[in-house]
Structures are given as C-alpha cells and as structure tokens.
Amino acid sequence: MKFQVFKDGKVLKDFSLIGVTLFGLDRIPFRSSKNVTFKDGIIECKTKTAEPAGLSLLWPIEGFGNVILYTTRLPDREQPYILNVELARAKLMEITIKREDWSAFEEKENFADQLAETQKLFIETLDNINEPAKASMLADKCLVKAMKFSEQLAAKNAELVFNIRQQNRNFTRSSIGCGINPKQLEDANYLKVTFDMFAHVSIPISWAKIEPVKGEYDFSELDRCIEILGKKRMLLCVGPLLCFSEQSLPDWLKGYSDFEAIREVSYEFVSKVVTRYAKYIHIWLVIGGLNAYNYFKFSFERILDITRTACLSAREADNRSLKMIEIVHPWGEYYAQDSDTVPPLVYIDMVTQAGISYDALGVQMVFGKNEQGMHVRDMMQISAMLDRYAPVPKPVHITSFGVPDTNDADKQKANEAGFWHKPWDATQQAKWIETFSIVALSKPFINSITYSALADSDVNVLAGSGLLDEKFKPKKSFTSIAKLQKKIIQKN
C-alpha cells in the first residue's frame, strides 16, 4: 500500500514520518508499523496481512496545528493513494459517525452551512481524483474546514451534555482533582493552593523508592505526605502501587525470572502499603499501565494473574476504599512495536471477562511529547476515544491529563510532538485544559478528572505542564481550572 504526499499541490520530496502506525479493525495497530518508509514523495507501507489497513501519522493542518490524523482502512493496490485525500475522507467519516452517535443534527444554519461547504469541497476533490496535484489542493482545503467543524461539533456537544450533568447535580467538588509532588508539599504556598483549590488529590508512589532493598521499606516521604493531607477532608488517591515499567521497579526485583516469586513479592508490597495507610485513602490505584509496560514480558494469562493478585491483595488489606486499575496510552500505538503488550480495550475486556474484582477504571491522557502515545490529537478524536470506554462496566476516571506550556523542552518541539491550533504557550495550555475538561466531564460514565501536575517540576513527564510555575505562581491554566471548579461548586 502506497500514499503519495503533496504540499501546496506539489509532491513532497522531504517529509518526516512521526507517530506512524498501521492499524486494522477497531484501530488495533499492526506489528508491521515499523515497515513504513518515505522516499521520493511516496509513503510505502508493507503489511504482513491481506486485510485492509489504515495509516496514522502526525500531519500539519494550516491554521489548526500539528496533530495525529488517520486514513480510513484501505485495501492494497499498486497505484498510490493520495494521502491528502485519504486524510480528508477519514475526518469527514469521523464527523458523520459522531454526529449520528451524538444525535447532533439540529445545528444552526451557519453551522450546517459549514458542513455542507466541507462536503461539497470533498465531492469536488473526488471529481478531480485523476489529477492528483489538483485533488490534493482541494483535499487540503477540505481538511482545514473539516478539522475546524469537527472541533466545533465536539465542543458544542460536550457543552450541551456538561450543562445537563451540571443541572442534574452530577458533579461534586472532588470531580476535579490534581496530581501532587510530595516533595513540594513542604512549601506553604503550594500547600495553600492544594487545600484552597482541590478536594481530590492524587499521590504518586514508587516501589523502587519505597523498597530499594528487599524487605527494607522507606515510608518516610509517604508518611509525611499522609500526615499533611490525611487530616484534611480530601479525597486521596494513591498509586499506582504496581507498575511494571523499568523505572518503577526496584533493582533487586529486575533480576527475578520466576513468575511465582514475582507475584508473591508483588502481593506482599501491595499488602504492606495498603495496610499501613488504609484508614486515610479513598482510592487505591492498585496497578497501572500493565497494558503497555511489561518489563518481565508476562504472557496474557500472567498479565491477568498479576492484575488479579494486585486487586486481591488490596481488597484483603482494605475492603472499604475503591480499587482502581489504570491504562495508559489509550490509542495503543505501543502495541505496534512491542509484542508483549496488550491493546488497551483488549486488556480491559480480558480483565472484565476473567471476573477480576475491581471498582473503577483509570485512563491517562497526556499529550505534547515526541514519544509513543503522547503526540497531540484533536478534540473530536479525544472525545471519540473516551466514548469507546462507555461500555466498560465500571466508573471511569481520567487519572492524569495534561499538556505543556512550552515547545522548548526536550522532545516537546511543536513539529515533532504536535501542537493544538498554535504552538504551546501559557494561553494555549489554558484553552486546551478548559476544552478538554468540558469534553471529559460531559461523558456520563466519567466520574472525575485529575490534572497531571499542580506545579512545574523536573520530575513531571512534561516540562511546563504544571498549573503553577516552579515558584508556585499561578499560570493561566490555573485560572481555567479555578473557573471550572467554581462553576461546579456554585451549581452544587
């Protein structure tokens, strides 16, 4: 399968493939995504299957930004497809599907005119498909209009449903939370903002830090954190207790090869932590990211087994609090590169079908870095992805969401990591946070959203992602969250 790439009606001779994935049914990535190359204006995709495939990649849209876009699933053929045309086709198809899902047909006249004009442009594109250069230019114009329309549609639908949820008093002060850095809690200004703004905070935990030597525990940092926060009337979420990424595991454990031994020490660690803090914690994030982080290369059966072990250990130590499991990178790009991982929705379905006892599902959505799963996406894509979690038979929480306020940090360059409408700055960060929050909280199955970091810090996944700067001065993004929090509190 080949795609010819145009810019301004001319074949592109120089083009960087960023965020590239080949996918099949249900947008599950193919393992052959690494076999995608660009040469002489052609993207060539070599798949190991005869089934139709789609291509996703970071794509610049004039006046909109650099975001991940998809083609539809297409059959192999010798003649190259025109990538510009296929991206426009896929976005129009997504608009059609979401209008039907959201029953969004009662648009105002000018709104309906925008869609009609976009559709007319695409028909004109198809009429000129035998003239690739002309078709690509028409497709580019069509895509610009389609992106703007899709964003307006997603925002309009979100605001409508959000207002209904608000009128029905579906929100509480703890509906919006924030991740904290235990080391920064010692600062009086940081502490004051935490207490004044949030009734729900998320406390990170690291097995590597707590048990650096087998059987020897260092709870000093967590003890201090609980001492400060535990006496307040706050909803405390702690975790993930278990995460099988390389950096989260203690060095002594990395040498283990016997699954039974790994499961046993995992059980002991979860039990130790939960027993110690049970009376203070409302939500235990018992295991996080096992869909993507699998240091020990567990099989499907063992992934389920270790998930069950974590949930069982936490429940036996504390039968009062909520037990949550968490997925990361919900679009599942990592699956194309690592055969030991599981697509996100497949993992959740496996856990549910296996009868594992958990109370809630956490989902991370952090964007703005040139790393797998963190390239920027448009709001309709985000809204559509959240909709895919509606059938999950448990409440859903956004356990971490965020974007940066800078393009200058490592791996956060706008042309490589992507950006939304304009390159990231304090204003764009604030606008994105406000829009995302409304979109997420408009979903009836989402119980809470938690911003990734209260303040900037070198330990954050994204540089410049905090609501406060490093001196704990509020940014525009802080004001956005504060306004939304006030809106929710006043109504309830």
* Separation of alpha carbons 74 and 88, rounded Å: 14
Which tens digit of pLDDT belongs to each residue from 264-283?
A: 999 999 999 999 999 999 99
- Interval 231-243 mean pLDDT: 92
pLDDT of residue 33: 62
The predicted structure's pLDDT at residue 111? 76
What SS3 class is residue 331? coil
Residues 133-146 have a mean pLDDT of 97
Exposed e or buried b for every residue in 35-44, given b needs 16+ CB within 10 A? ebebeebbbe
Mean pLDDT, residues 473-483 taken together:
95
* Confidence grade of residue 231 (pLDDT, cut at 50, 70, 90): confident
- What average pLDDT score do residues 195-220 get? 95
What average pLDDT is seen over the chain?
94
Residue by residue, DSSP assigns 395-447 as: -EEEEEEE--S-S-STT--HHHH-EESBS--HHHHHHHHHHHHHHHHTSTTEE
The confidence score (pLDDT) of residue 37 equals: 93
Specify the pLDDT at position 355.
95
Q: What are the structural domains, with CATH classification, of the chain?
A: 2-162 (no CATH), 169-491 (3.20.20.80)
Alpha-carbon gap, residue 354 to 357, rounded angstroms: 9
* pLDDT value, residue 422: 95
What is the per-residue pLDDT across 21-38, written as a single tens digit (0 to 9) for each? 999 988 889 876 668 999
Tell me, what's the pLDDT at 451?
Answer: 97
pTM, entire model: 0.95
Please give the average per-residue pLDDT across 390-417, as a whole number.
96
Q: What is the structure's pLDDT at 108?
A: 63
492 pLDDT more than 60: no
For residues 151-161, give the mean pLDDT. Answer: 94
Pick from 43-52, 170-179, 349-358: least confident: 43-52
